[in-house]
Amino acid sequence: MGPALSNLATGCPWPCMPVTVALWAQKVKRWSDFLVFSASRTVFHHNRDAVVQLLRMCFAATLGQTTSSIASNGGVGALLGHGYGSHFSGGISPVAPGLLYLRVHRAVPNVMFMTEEVVSLLMHSVRDIASSLVPSEKLKKSKYVRKYGQVSLAGALTRVKLVATLGASLVWITGGVVLVQSLIKETLPSWFISSHGTDPSGGMSEGLVSTLGGKALACFAVISGAFAWGVDSSSPAAKRRSGILEAHLEFVAGALHGKISLGCNKATWKSYVSGLISLIVGCTPNWLLEVDVEVLKSLSTGLKQWDEEELALALLNSSGIGTMGATAEMIIEGGMNFVR
């Protein structure tokens, strides 16, 4: 019965499935919850906007931005809920958006649009996180900053990492290695090249949004890559990693040296690059061993132009024997003390 309903939900035109479910639910009442839940797949198969709305609800639930009682506190519990069933008289209880997405994502016929939607929702969530911080007029008071400002910023960074992890999970669950590679090779470079609107509030808020946005995208990219390729060479998918990663880092290096024009906010770009390199060096250094040495040298030179000498040196130090000469040159030129 279950497989038959699943095939019916994804294969029949609207509204055949709801009609079928309504008839069966009247005949076999103890199956009503299962039938109603199965019928929900139909709309996601036929309506792309419904998929986007469900993704939006996943982000909102994770941040605790929905009115539902099960999602008021946010986090993973709000995202996945506690199962489903008729806990309330008169019908099925609310189903957490993450649980629903796990159930219906296979019904989406074309998943290639998902990377752009997830990036858009991620950046929208970052803006919401930034807007929920301490008001700017209170931040001007140094006493208030000492007491509350750092806590608020730390909390914002934690929430940014949370939504970045959610975005990476959605991409990985939906399309696997293929969709992750499309994200890193095509979607992210296209996003940075494109122009994006700015927050009319301006001032500190816009700078904070840009910085948090860059960090969110860096976490999003690295976590997505880790899901797809692993952090070392033990995964079979790791064989596909070198070409995609090198192409992305070559894009980053080209933009650092002005060979590629960017449309995004400069603060977002700088935050992304520094965050990306820091995460790769700190969490997945084995990735760098597969990248062309000249690309890594170009990256380190660009970072040095940003006065990021320590990060540039850490990048070269993690890149194997091929970059030893460049590492020594940087230490000598900068008069830096390098301690292993």
Residues 6+ apart with CB under 8 A from 256: 273, 298, 299, 301, 302, 303, 305, 306
Q: How confident is the model at residue 41 (pLDDT cuts 50, 70, 90)?
A: confident
- Concatenated DSSP letters for 154-220? HHHHHHHHHHHHHHHHHHHHHHHHHHHHHIIIIIHHHHHHS-----TT-HHHHHHHHHHHHHHHHHH
Q: Return the pLDDT at 295.
A: 92
pLDDT in tens, 57-71: 999 999 987 665 554
Q: Return the pLDDT at 201.
A: 46
Quick check: 114 and 179 in contact, CB under 8 A? yes
Distance CA(300)–CA(225), nearest Å, equals: 21
Higher pLDDT, 301 or 137: 301
Q: Return the pLDDT at 46.
A: 77
Higher pLDDT, 130 or 198: 130
Beta strands in 15-148 (DSSP E): none
Mean pLDDT of 183-212: 79
Read off the pTM: 0.82
Distance CA(53)–CA(65), nearest Å, equals: 14
Distance CA(22)–CA(56), nearest Å, equals: 28
Higher pLDDT, 216 or 135: 216
Helix (H) or strand (E) holding 24: helix 16-27
Compute how many other C-beta atoms are within 10 angstroms of the C-beta atom of residue 238. 17
First to last CA, the chain: 63
Distance CA(302)–CA(299), nearest Å, equals: 5
Higher pLDDT, 76 or 29: 76
pLDDT in tens, 172-187: 999 999 999 999 999 9
- What is the share, in percent, of the chain residues with pLDDT greater than 70? 70
Mean pLDDT of the chain: 80
Q: Is 135 left (phi over 0), alpha (psi -120 to 50) or beta?
A: beta
Distance CA(87)–CA(152), nearest Å, equals: 37
Distance CA(214)–CA(271), nearest Å, equals: 5
Q: Return the pLDDT at 251.
A: 97
pLDDT at residue 222 greater than cutoff 50: yes
Q: How confident is the model at residue 45 (pLDDT cuts 50, 70, 90)?
A: confident
Q: Residue 13 has what DSSP assignment?
A: P
pLDDT in tens, 291-317: 888 999 899 999 999 999 899 888 988
Q: How confident is the model at residue 114 (pLDDT cuts 50, 70, 90)?
A: very high
Quick check: 272 and 255 in contact, CB under 8 A? no
Quick check: 96 and 61 in contact, CB under 8 A? yes
